[in-house]
Amino acid sequence: MPKFVSVEEAAKLIPDGATVMFGGFMGCGSAHKFIDALSKTGVKDLTMICNDASMPGGPLGEEYYAVAKLVHNRQIKRLITSHVGLNPEVATQSMQEKTLEVLLVPQGSLVEMIRSGGAGLGGVLTPTGVGTLVEESPLCLGKQTINGRDYLLMQPLRADFAVIAGAKIDKAGNVWYKGTTSNFNVVMATAADTVIAEGEELVEIGSIAPEDVRTPSVFVDYVVEGGKY
């Protein structure tokens, strides 16, 4: 059974220097309330694994949307991601000030690297990135030819924490996602030592049909109620 805690209590779990996966894609499916709380704890030197660095200017007029807050607060020192083009602060911190290390990985490789980390596999062989700078990435372990086609061996990714978000979480900790919010949340829930799940709504057991559970409770360690965001 996961523990049900406040967002503030959950945010305090994350120490300086931790590696944290954040679900969400341009803020869609991000644990908004938890990230707000984390941005106020002052925790720093985080390695963030997230599809993107989100953006300033959220849909509800937020100055910094989702993980863009953590970048803006300079709480991230290393970022493993597929896209940072919509958050200009990443370029400032990484290219000009050189205070942020950015490792870019193709999106489809990133999700499988996380999946393999969570599924006990030794990495991913993917044709994506062959002949490109990805071959030189520290996350690329080499090249192999299988049946005449070249593949890159990408290392599995795990984290100390994964922070995921769903529209509904039941009292056992099962998660249901709405719309395009499942994105990276589903794989990240499998690939961290401690998983913190934010639900917009916490519901009774049985409210989510067993067939509709996308992240089973056994992956979830802490549940926080985000409320309607």
Binding residues (CB under 8 A) for other proteins: these are: 25-29, 51-52, 54-55, 59-60, 81-86, 91, 94-95, 102, 104, 106-109, 111-112, 115, 126-134, 167, 177-187, 214, 229
Rounded least distance, CB 108 to other proteins, Å: 3
Rounded least distance, CB 206 to other proteins, Å: 23
Rounded least distance, CB 167 to other proteins, Å: 7
Nearer to other proteins, 12 or 143 (CB): 143
183-186, Cβ contacts within 8 angstroms, sequence gap of 24 or more: 183/23, 183/24, 183/25, 183/28, 183/29, 183/51, 184/21, 184/23, 184/24, 184/25, 184/29, 184/50, 184/51, 184/111, 184/114, 185/23, 185/24, 185/29, 185/215, 186/214, 186/215
Nearer to other proteins, 167 or 224 (CB): 167
Give one DSSP letter per residue of 98-116, joined into a string.
--SEEEE--HHHHHHHHHH
How far, in Å, CA of 76 to CA of 155, rounded? Answer: 22
Rounded least distance, CB 9 to other proteins, Å: 24
Rounded least distance, CB 135 to other proteins, Å: 10
Nearer to other proteins, 18 or 125 (CB): 125
Nearer to other proteins, 14 or 84 (CB): 84
* Residue 90 to residues 37, 68, 102, 149, 169, Cα–Cα distance (Å): 21, 9, 8, 35, 33
